[in-house]
Structure formats: C-alpha cells, structure tokens
C-alpha cells in the first residue's frame, strides 16, 4: 500500500520541503581509519574523483584513474588486498597490457555475472586537456587486465561528472537475445565540456571475460525518458539503489552555477529518479549543501528498512553561508530514505586509535570515492559476518590538499534509535579500533535540526547566476577570491621558485659591482658576477617551465559555463603573470644587453681616439705635470702665434749646451728602472719660455713628527698675477742670441706667449691652491653617483617587475597554495629587500639611486674634490684636473721632485734636446773665476724674483715665479 502511495507522489513530480527525522531506525555506525594499517610497494597516491570497485571473490579493492595532486588525470590501476592490506599493481598476462587512457570523474561499478565475468566497468570520464570521453572499459579481477568493451548501437555524448553506476545487489538478467547474463549500468546528466546534460541512459553489458577470451564483452546503450526535467548539476554525489524490484538513481549536492566551482555554489536540492516508473522526485536537502560528496547505499541486510537508505558522506560546504551545527567536522552521515524522502542526520562513533584517545573522523573533502558491500570488507570472519562496510578513498580537502587515506564506515548488525541507543553489541561501552572492531561501545548522536542558512544571502542556484552575486566565503562581504580556473601543481611550484631564484641573482649581481669603498672591480667579484649569471639562467629556465605548465595544465572546474575553446589568459592572474613574465624575463635582459653594448661602444671610441692620436702622453696638451697614474694619456701640440703647430716652427740654429741631469732619478715612482723620461722641452722652449716655473723641493732627510703648521701655504702666497714677458730682460740671456735671426724669433715668441696660453712648460704653481702640496685622493672616484638616464630607467623597470611578481606570487600562494609556502616565500622576499637596503647603506653598488639617497641621508663627510686653479692669461685649466703639482704623501727618499709641466717633444727635436736643455748650448761657467761667478749669480738673482721660504719641519721650497 505504501509503495502505491509513493508511486502517486513520484508521478506528481513535486518538490518536497526539507524535513528531518530524529527517530529513524539505523544500524550502529562507526568510522575506522585503515590508512596506517596499509602497506605494499605500490600504494595509491593522493587522488580525487577516482574510480573504486570491490571484488569479493578475490578480496580485491580497485582504484583506477582520478585526478592527481598535480591536476592531471591518471591511468594507473592500484589493487589493495583486503585480507593482507597490501597495495600492489596489476600483474597482467602477456599480450594484455592495454589500459584505458587517463581520466577522472567517470561512471563505474562492478560487473559480476556468475562465471562469465568478474569485472570492473568504467564509462566515460574527463580525459586530458578537459577532453570528454565516452568509451567503455572492463577490468578482469581474476587475470588483472583491461579490455575495451565493444559498444554497439547509438551511444550518448561524451561526458564526465554524471550520476549513476550499478547496485551490485541486483541480480543479472537473462536475455533471450543476448548471450549470457546481462548487468545494467545507469548514467544520468553530466557535463560534456560545453553543455549541461540532463538525459538518462542505460548500458546493458553482456559476454564473457577471461584471459583466454579477452574481447568477448559487448554492450549496448538505451536512452530512457522520464516525466519532467532532470536537474542538471555537476560535482554532485550519485549512486544507484535497487529497492524491491525497481532501480533508482539518486543524486545530491553539486553545483548549478556557471561561475564558480567550489563549496559556495553547492545546491541544497537532491533528486531521486525511479527508472522503472520513469518518474523523478526533487527534494530539499536537510544537511548543508555539499560540494563533491559521496553517495553509497546502506548495504546492511539486518532490516528491510535499511535497503531504502542512502548514505550522504563527506563533501565540503561553505561555512560562511550555512550552519550545520558542526556535524561534518565530526564525521556526519546524512541518511536519505528514498521511500519517504526524509533525511536523518547522525554523528557516528569515531576511531579512538591505538592509544584509546579522542575519536577521530575523516576530514571533509570533495571527490572521495566510495563503495559499499553487504558484509564487512576487512577483519576476521566473525567481524565481517556481523557488519557491512562502506569503504572511502581519497579526495581533496577544503584547503586544496589531495588525500589518499582510506576509511571504513562500518554498519554493525543492529538497530538503534534516538530513544534506544543501547543495542546488543554495545557490551561494556569500550570503543574499539582496527579491522576487528566488533561494535563494542558504538552509539550514534542524532541531530535534531537541519542545517540552516546564515544571514548572508546564498546562491539561488540559477544557471544564469554570476560571481557578482555570489557571497564571499569569508563572510567579509567582498567578492570571493575563489576561481573556477586551476592549473597543475607543477605551475604552482615552478612559478614561485623561478621568482625566488631571481632574487638572489639580483642580490649577487649587486655584490659583484664596484662599491663606494672599492670602486674597481676586483678579481673575486668576477666569480660573483658569473654566479649571478648562472642563477639568473636557472631562474629563466624554471620560469619557462612554469609558464609552459600554466598553458598546458589549465582547467576549468566549474564545468557548466559555455565558453570559447581556449582557457588561456581568461583570468586577471594569467594576464598579469604573462605581462610581468615578458617584462622581467624578456624586456629587462634585452635592455641590459643594450646598456652593455652602449658602454662598450663608448669605451671603444675612447680607445680608438687614443690609438690614432700618437705616442702616449708625448702629445699631451694638459697644463699639468705628467703623472704616473695616467701613463697612456695622449695629447697634442700647441699652436703658435701664426696658427701653425709648434712642431712645425722653424728650427733654431744649433747651440752647444751641456746635458742637464736627468729627471728620471726624481720620478714619483721610485721603483721604476730604465724608463727614460719623455722630454717636455726643446730648443723652442728654451727661447720662448726662459722663465718657466721649474719648481722643486728639498725634503729634510731625518724623519720627524710633522706638525699641522707644516702644511701651511701662507709662505708661498704671492698675490701677483703672472704676466707675459714683454721686454728683453724677460728673455734668457744665458743663451747666445748672436745667431742670425734668433733675436727676432725670441721677440716673436714673446708676443705669441702674450696672446696664447703658455705651454705646459710655463705652468705656474698657485699659492692659493693646495694642489701643489696636497696629494689628490680622487674622492670623486669613491663617492656614490647616479647611473645614466638609460640605466635609471632599466633599474626602475627591473625592480617594479620584480616587486609585482613577488606580490602576484604571494597572492596566488595565499589563495591557492599552502600556508607554509606563502610564509616561506614572504620571508624570502623580505630578506631580499632587507639585504638590498643593507648593501645600499654600505655603498654597494656605487652607481645606484638607493646608494646615492642613503649617502646623502647619512651626510658623511667625504673628501671634497680638489679645487682647480683659476685660468690665467698664461695657461688654461687642465682638462683632467691636474693643473698643479701634488704634494707627496708617502716617503720616497730624502729628495722628492715632481715632474714639471711639459709640452710635446717631437722626433726631429730629440737630437737637439736632452731633458729640456739644448745640447748645442755652451755653458761658459767653467771659464769664470769664483768672484765673477758669484757676482753673476747675484746680478741674476737681483733680476729675478726669488723667494726662499723655510717652513716647519725644516722643509725648503724654492719658487721661481715669472717677473711681471
């Protein structure tokens, strides 16, 4: 009578309001964890949406396919012997090594037909690159091999995520037309990658399967029509229940949303389809709406009422939208009676563990695989005979972690209600664990109300809903950060690792560059430079792998939305990541190469000018002395008054002169040997610049403690401005001017020197400058300086791209990754930027905006650039800042001489000149007696302005300025 009434209700196809029963008779239930009891060489890895089956004849549990933790569908088969609890791989006969292609979310179930078949059937599923599949495969438990089923007739479209399967309690059907007993599998709804499906199909499998006859299994599809429209959902839980003489397809949970594929889109409805009457009943779910739950029939045979019960297990739900009174975290099992449409929510007993501690429960998860059997699946014969087991494997928890744990929901042979919790197997109440648990101490907690919706508006379940009206799972009122798009773990690992490698590459490169303390690139810094290049190439390679894996492994888990064929660059994260990758890994290296080539071209141009000018430093037009630190600098001769070069001026008549003492013995580099001094004088200088400043100093031999007054320059102060020679007294009359034309030539040179700057031989030591007495420490070479404009742009782009990629990686790790990965990357990034600030504070690198800013903030006194002397009428300023004689800062002997200014002495002058003295000059000092010599010296000294100054430390300076 009650079945007749139920059929009437089904015919009406109405939607029932949610209701809960608190006194439905159920078997005592207990969760038992088998994970730590398993062993073997081939354990199943963490998988989601795998296919699961059980064969009682071989005592084998089968796990096939599923989605791996990297996001890829799998094609491996894993076998667990439930007697020994050992994992193994199939041992297929020779020549029978074929296997189905990788897939997940397929319809599957056991195909048992007496001695004809002991097989596990897999139908369709989701293949690689989101490909929908429709093929049918069978695994033979006896010989452990796969074979493809020969499907005849019209077949449904390829799909995945459908509800259906088979209830193995159904007896095979003997068909008079098809040879052998037939088993029937059902498939309802699903998703083909573009469209939501709501059709129902039935697959009839027949034939014989054995190692000797592997290709004799065949099947045919039959489409079923029902009254009304089947709700279209994905990521739901589904099963088939044979109750009485009728087959029922049951589905619960899942999403109808086209925008999201997570617990926030879970729909609270469930439906039951009576295949024999072709009617369907829609129910409102009493438990919280589940995303990716598992459905399994109650296979306990103690009571006939248990045959109409279905267990809703695990799944996930949005805690910001629904309140389930903490049921799912405690292993809640929601039981649906398909005859009455009533839900019962209970919390089973947990697993106390070996130490008898707090009972444990499986964590909420989506995509777990479950299968039920009428007796116990593990344990001794006695235990198996007093219970029925539902075994659950794998899934993905709410944090995104893929699981491979194995749990059993054991239903003991007993009956309890809320008012009668004690049953015959309760005994003394000590809860047991392990495969031999016999139900002692097991009781259940009935929950008295359905899950309730929170005040935050929930998803209506409309297929047209978008993410804009989806509540935030965090309850903050902001849009949800969850995305229906996902990539493999390979991308999630390689992308942040690549960015993490770029950070030390940049840090090491900055270490290898010249610093404020040591501007010259030392040899050991070359090793740092090469190391930074190696790390940068490693980061580039890893980045390429991460980018490639993003394009090849992207998937769309919402599955319901109609979209274009390509999933690439459909998210803001993907577009931003690609743009930043192109900027940091392509644009920045190109700009660095351009900058390096520009610098090399500039250096080559300078070297080219040097090589084409002539003999090094022999043509210098600098008015300073020729110092050792610039041995290769070149110059050019000075023009004369008539516009021709000095080396083109008329040569003077020979005039014998004794060679003067070589200046080489007074070189500032005392360790040099045999390096002859390049003369800066010639016969021209002798005539044109007789009053050349040939300054020298005598340094006292004894080493004494110097006082501050020793550096005083007051004694050298001479306020007179040097004037060019304009009369005969200004000429050097020690030379013979009787030669024809030499007086005219000398007068011409006097007029020329009045109009043109003096040659380097006439450089004057200015008393107002310390350049003559204080050594130049090249402070400007040790001060931080700004890079060029082009380099500034490159540096700013580099750090902007790098910082943006770090932020993008941190955001992705926070949303999609683990907390540990986020923390490690955050710490690594903070350490990198702290290191950059420390380097800049210590002047590394020298050319850096940050280094310059820190240098100015610190306001440390740096050695100021040495002031240059003002240009006078006698000479211009030096182009390189060496317009006077440096003061010796190190001890080089009792006499220290700084080479005087010079001018070019060309090849044709070398026979005529030796160290500034014409070899033809005749020094007639030897013919004079002592009295004449003394009188001549006094006359010459009265004619010249001679200042003899003695400064502290017994140092003597002799200065011979020109006479105005």
Of the candidate ranges 134-138, 337-341, 885-889, the one whose mean pLDDT is the lowest: 885-889
Task: Please give the average per-residue pLDDT across 555-574, as a whole number.
Answer: 56
Task: Please give the average per-residue pLDDT across 216-225, as a whole number.
Answer: 92
* Residues 231, 198 contacting (CB under 8 angstroms): yes
Dihedral over Cα of 748, 754, 756, 762: its sign? positive
- Structure-block tokens of residue 831: 């350490």
- The per-residue DSSP string of 362-403 comes to PPPEES-EEEEESS-SSS-HHHHHTEEEEEEEEEEETTS-EE
Q: Pairing mode, if any, of strands 163-165 and 173-174? A: unpaired
What angle (nearest 5°) sits at the alpha carbon of residue 701, between those of residues 696 and 706?
A: 90
pLDDT for res 913 = 45
* Residues 268, 343 contacting (CB under 8 angstroms): no
pLDDT averaged over the chain?
A: 74
Confidence of residue 944 (pLDDT cuts 50, 70, 90): confident
CA 331 to chain centroid, in Å, comes to 39
Of the candidate ranges 56-65, 384-393, 528-537, 953-962, the one whose mean pLDDT is the lowest: 953-962
Hey, which residues does 205 pair with through a beta bridge? Answer: 183, 219
Residues of the chain above pLDDT 70, percent: 64
Spatial CB neighbours of 192, under 8 Å, sequence gap ≥ 6:
132, 157, 158, 159
- The per-residue DSSP string of 509-522 comes to HHHHS--SS--S--
Residues of the chain above pLDDT 90, percent: 36
| pLDDT per position as a tens digit, 289-335 | 999 999 999 999 999 999 999 999 999 998 888 899 999 999 999 99
Question: DSSP 3-state assignment of 893?
Answer: coil
Confidence of residue 111 (pLDDT cuts 50, 70, 90): very high
Cβ neighbours of 892 (radius 10 Å): 16
Q: What are the residue ranges spanned by the domains of the chain?
A: 2-93+236-453, 485-598+785-856, 646-695+718-782+865-938
pLDDT for res 470 = 35
Does residue 456 carry a pLDDT above 80? no
Higher pLDDT, 759 or 399: 399
pLDDT for res 555 = 62
pLDDT for res 814 = 85
Alpha helices in 816-848 (DSSP H): 819-841
pLDDT for res 258 = 54
Q: Give the highest mean pLDDT range of 276-285, 484-493, 516-525.
A: 276-285
Burial, 2: exposed, middle or buried (Cβ in 10 Å; 0-12, 13-18, 19+)? exposed
pTM, two decimals, is 0.53
What does the alpha-carbon distance between residue 557 and residue 680 come to, in Å, rounded to a whole number?
A: 86
pLDDT for res 219 = 93
Spatial CB neighbours of 156, under 8 Å, sequence gap ≥ 6:
134, 187, 199, 201, 221, 223
What does the alpha-carbon distance between residue 818 and residue 483 come to, in Å, rounded to a whole number?
A: 16
Does residue 463 carry a pLDDT above 60? no
Cβ neighbours of 924 (radius 10 Å): 9
* Residues 189, 211 contacting (CB under 8 angstroms): no
Does residue 50 carry a pLDDT above 70? yes
Confidence of residue 146 (pLDDT cuts 50, 70, 90): very high
Residue whose C-alpha is closest to residue 118's, from 209, 214, 240, 219: 209
* Residues 915, 663 contacting (CB under 8 angstroms): yes
| pLDDT per position as a tens digit, 78-90 | 999 999 999 999 9
Higher pLDDT, 76 or 699: 76
Higher pLDDT, 530 or 554: 530
The C-alpha R_g of the chain, in whole angstroms, comes to: 49
Of the candidate ranges 263-277, 497-511, 641-655, the one whose mean pLDDT is the lowest: 641-655
pLDDT for res 137 = 96
pLDDT for res 952 = 63
Does residue 154 carry a pLDDT above 60? yes
Q: Give the highest mean pLDDT range of 568-577, 633-642, 836-845.
A: 836-845
What angle (nearest 5°) sits at the alpha carbon of residue 561, between those of residues 560 and 567?
A: 110
pLDDT for res 419 = 85
Cβ neighbours of 99 (radius 10 Å): 19
- Structure-block tokens of residue 847: 């050319």
Does residue 592 carry a pLDDT above 80? yes
Q: Pairing mode, if any, of strands 216-224 and 150-152? A: parallel
Does residue 834 carry a pLDDT above 70? yes
pLDDT for res 126 = 94
What does the alpha-carbon distance between residue 505 and residue 509 come to, in Å, rounded to a whole number?
A: 6
* Residues 826, 820 contacting (CB under 8 angstroms): no
Confidence of residue 200 (pLDDT cuts 50, 70, 90): very high
CA 946 to chain centroid, in Å, comes to 75
| pLDDT per position as a tens digit, 702-714 | 544 444 444 444 4
| pLDDT per position as a tens digit, 714-741 | 444 444 444 544 455 555 544 444 444 4
What does the alpha-carbon distance between residue 624 and residue 771 come to, in Å, rounded to a whole number?
A: 10
Cβ neighbours of 894 (radius 10 Å): 11
Question: DSSP 3-state assignment of 95?
Answer: coil
Task: Please give the average per-residue pLDDT across 606-622, as a whole number.
Answer: 50
């Amino acid at each position: 009578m009650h079945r007749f009434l139920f059929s009437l209700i089904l015919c009406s196809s109405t939607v029932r309001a949610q209701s809960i029963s608190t006194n439905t008779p159920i078997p005592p239930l207990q969760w038992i964890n088998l994970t730590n009891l398993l062993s073997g060489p081939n354990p199943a890895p963490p998988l989601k949406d795998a296919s699961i089956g059980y064969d009682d004849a071989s005592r084998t549990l089968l796990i096939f396919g599923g989605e791996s933790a990297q996001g890829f569908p799998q094609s491996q088969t894993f076998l667990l012997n439930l007697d020994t609890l050992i994992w193994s791989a199939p041992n297929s006969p020779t020549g029978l090594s074929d296997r189905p292609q990788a897939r997940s979310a397929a319809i599957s179930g056991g195909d048992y037909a007496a001695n004809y078949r002991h097989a596990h059937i897999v139908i369709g599923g989701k293949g690689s690159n989101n490909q929908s599949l429709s093929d049918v495969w069978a695994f033979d438990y006896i010989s452990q091999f796969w074979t493809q089923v020969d499907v005849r007739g019209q077949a449904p479209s390829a799909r995945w995520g459908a509800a259906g399967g088979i209830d193995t309690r159904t007896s095979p059907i003997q068909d008079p037309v098809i040879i052998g007993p037939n088993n029937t599998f059902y498939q309802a709804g699903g998703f083909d990658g573009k469209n939501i499906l709501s059709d129902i199909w039935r697959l009839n499998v027949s034939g014989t399967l054995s190692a000797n006859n592997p290709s004799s299994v065949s099947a045919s599809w039959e489409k079923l029509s029902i009254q009304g429209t089947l709700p279209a959902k994905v990521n739901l839980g589904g099963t088939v229940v044979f109750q009485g003489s009728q087959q029922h397809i049951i589905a619960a949970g899942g999403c109808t949303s086209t925008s999201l594929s997570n617990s926030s889109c879970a729909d609270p409805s469930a439906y039951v389809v009576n295949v024999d009457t072709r009617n369907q009943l829609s129910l409102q779910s009493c438990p919280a709406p589940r995303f990716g739950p598992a459905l399994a029939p109650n296979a306990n045979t103690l009571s006939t009422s248990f045959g109409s019960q279905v267990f809703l297990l695990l799944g996930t739900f949005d805690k910001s939208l629904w309140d389930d009174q903490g049921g799912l975290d405690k292993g809640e099992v929601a039981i649906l009676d398909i005859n009455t449409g009533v839900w019962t929510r209970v919390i089973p007993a947990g697993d106390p563990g070996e130490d008898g501690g707090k009972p444990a429960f499986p964590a909420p998860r989506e995509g777990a695989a479950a299968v039920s059997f009428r007796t116990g699946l593990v344990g001794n014969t006695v235990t198996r005979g007093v219970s029925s087991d539902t075994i659950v494997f794998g899934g993905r928890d709410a944090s995104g972690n893929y699981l491979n744990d194995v749990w059993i929901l054991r239903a003991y042979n007993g009956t309890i209600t809320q008012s009668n919790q004690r049953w015959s197997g309760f005994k003394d109440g000590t809860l047991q664990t392990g495969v031999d648990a016999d139900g002692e101490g097991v009781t259940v907690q009935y929950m008295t109300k359905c899950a309730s919706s929170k005040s935050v508006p929930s998803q209506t379940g409309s297929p047209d809903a978008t993410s804009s009206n989806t509540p935030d799972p965090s309850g903050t009122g902001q849009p949800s950060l969850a995305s229906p798009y996902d990539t493999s773990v390979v991308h999630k690992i390689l992308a942040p690792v690549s960015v993490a490698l770029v950070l030390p590459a940049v840090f090491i490169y900055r270490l290898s560059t010249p610093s404020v303390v040591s501007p010259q690139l030392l040899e050991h810094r070359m090793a740092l430079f090469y190391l930074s290049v190696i790390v940068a190439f490693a980061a580039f390679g890893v980045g390429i792998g991460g980018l490639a894996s993003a394009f090849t492994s992207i998937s769309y888990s919402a599955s319901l939305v109609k979209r274009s064929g390509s999933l690439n660059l459909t998210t803001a994260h993907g577009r931003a990541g690609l743009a930043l990758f192109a900027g940091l890994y392509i644009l920045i290296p190109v700009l660095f190469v351009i900058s390096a080539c520009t610098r090399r071209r500039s250096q080559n141009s300078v070297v080219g000018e040097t090589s084409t000018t002539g003999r090094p430093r022999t043509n210098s037009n600098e008015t300073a002395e020729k110092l050792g630190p610039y041995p290769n600098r070149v110059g050019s001769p000075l023009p004369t008054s008539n516009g021709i070069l000095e080396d083109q001026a008329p040569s003077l008549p020979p005039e014998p002169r004794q060679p003067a003492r070589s200046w080489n013995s007074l070189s500032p580099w005392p360790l040099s040997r045999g390096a002859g001094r390049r003369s800066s004088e010639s016969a021209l200088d002798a005539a044109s610049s007789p009053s050349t400043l040939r300054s020298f100093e005598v340094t006292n031999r004894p080493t004494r403690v110097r006082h501050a007054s020793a550096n005083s320059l007051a004694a050298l102060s001479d306020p007179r401005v040097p004037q060019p020679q304009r009369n005969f007294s200004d000429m050097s009359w020690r030379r013979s001017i009787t030669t024809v034309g030499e007086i005219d030539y000398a007068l011409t040179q006097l007029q020329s020197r009045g109009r043109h700057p003096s040659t380097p031989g006439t450089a004057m030591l200015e008393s107002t400058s310390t350049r003559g007495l204080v050594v130049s420490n090249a402070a400007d070479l040790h001060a931080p300086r700004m890079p060029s404009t082009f380099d500034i742009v490159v540096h700013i782009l580099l750090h902007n791209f790098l910082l943006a990629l770090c932020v993008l990686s941190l955001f992705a790790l926070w949303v999609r990754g683990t907390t540990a990965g986020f923390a490690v990357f955050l710490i690594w990034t903070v350490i990198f930027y702290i290191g950059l600030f420390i380097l800049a504070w210590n002047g590394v690198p020298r050319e850096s905006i940050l280094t310059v800013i820190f240098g100015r903030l610190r306001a440390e006194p740096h050695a100021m650039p040495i002031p240059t002397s003002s240009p006078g009428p006698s000479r211009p300023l030096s182009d390189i800042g060496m317009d006077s004689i440096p003061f010796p800062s190190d001890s080089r002997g009792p006499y220290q001489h700084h080479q005087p200014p010079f001018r070019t002495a060309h090849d044709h002058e070398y026979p005529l000149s030796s160290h500034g003295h014409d070899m033809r000059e005749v020094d007639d000092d030897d013919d004079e007696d002592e009295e004449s010599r003394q009188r001549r010296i006094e006359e010459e000294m009265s004619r010249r302005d001679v200042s003899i100054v003695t400064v502290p430390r017994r140092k003597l300076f002799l200065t011979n300025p020109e006479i105005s």
